[in-house]
Amino acid sequence: AQTVTQSQPEMSVQEAETVTLSCTYDTSESDYYLFWYKQPPSRQMILVIRQEAYKQQNATENRFSVNFQKAAKSFSLKISDSQLGDAAMYFCAYRSINTPLVFGKGTRLSVIA
Amino acid sequence: KAGVTQTPRYLIKTRGQQVTLSCSPISGHRSVSWYQQTPGQGLQFLFEYFSETQRNKGNFPGRFSGRQFSNSRSEMNVSTLELGDSALYLCASSLTAGVNNEQFFGPGTRLTVL
């Protein structure tokens, strides 16, 4: 079964600084999608960024970018110019045609003013 | 366009009772997925429905069931509630059941079993 591991239960970053959240996954499939979701204290989960495994180019969405290392099965999220509104739980997730969304345990990010 | 709505938002039940949770997807979305979120187990997939058909089911006991109606609204039912069923139940909708379709999540239903 596919598994997703987030090794950092909690992280903190100073406002305007950059932070990287780690994620590794285990799979024997070659075609899949990886996602980062954000869950603010209000609980509504929102998609931050997604990466298709067959695309070598790392995905970028404004201040959010990923470092996708397919061979190492690593998918980290970089948040640049951190803002107070970035404080939330961040979940890394995996999905394929054979596997519904599988989430990691999450990383709680605090942003210090 | 209205987002995913879930009702009720909060629910308190006692052991042995049953409960039905409702999810209304974004207009035009035909796929609905359900997830259970607990502090211990994290986010776990329950089921996925597309066009009234269950496409996938997670590793949960048969007490957990669901269905989808012709208007894409979905319900999930938990019978014979146990204390461990206390959780936040999240519903997500997407246009289709395709792997690359973005899932839009609702605010969740907080179920407490006493």
pLDDT in tens, A5-22: 999 999 999 999 999 999
Grade residue A42 by pLDDT with cuts at 50, 70 and 90. confident
A87-91, B20-24, B39-43: which has the minimum mean pLDDT? Answer: B39-43
Can you give the pLDDT at residue A43?
73
Backbone φ and ψ for A85, nearest 5 degrees, come out as -70, -5
The predicted structure's pLDDT at residue A40: 93
Going by pLDDT thresholds of 50, 70 and 90, the confidence category of residue B2 is confident
The DSSP symbol for B42 reads E
CB atoms within 10 A of CB A55: 11
For range A14-42, the mean pLDDT: 95
Instruction: Quote the pLDDT of residue A95.
Output: 94
Task: Kindly report, residue by residue over B65-75, the tens digit of the pLDDT.
Answer: 999 999 999 99
- Give the per-residue pLDDT at A19: 98
pLDDT at residue A20, rounded to an integer = 98
| Interface with chain B: mutation pick from A34, A99, A101, A102, highest number of B CBs within 10 Å | A101
* Whole-number Å distance between alpha carbons of B9 and B108: 6
- Give burial (CB, 10 Å; 0-12/13-18/19+) of B44: middle
Residues of chain B with pLDDT > 90, as a percent, come to: 91
pLDDT surpassing 90 at residue B89: yes
pLDDT at A104 over 90: yes
Question: Which token pair is B67?
Answer: 């269905």
Residue B59 burial by Cβ neighbours in a 10 Å radius (0-12, 13-18, 19+): exposed
Q: How far apart are CA A6 and CA A70, in angstroms?
A: 16
Give, in degrees to the nearest 5, the angle at Cα B63 between B59 and B64: 60
Which of A23, A29, A37, A44 has the highest number of chain B CBs within 10 A, making it the mutation to test binding with B?
A44
Identify which of B3, B99, B104 has the shortest CB distance to residue A33: B99
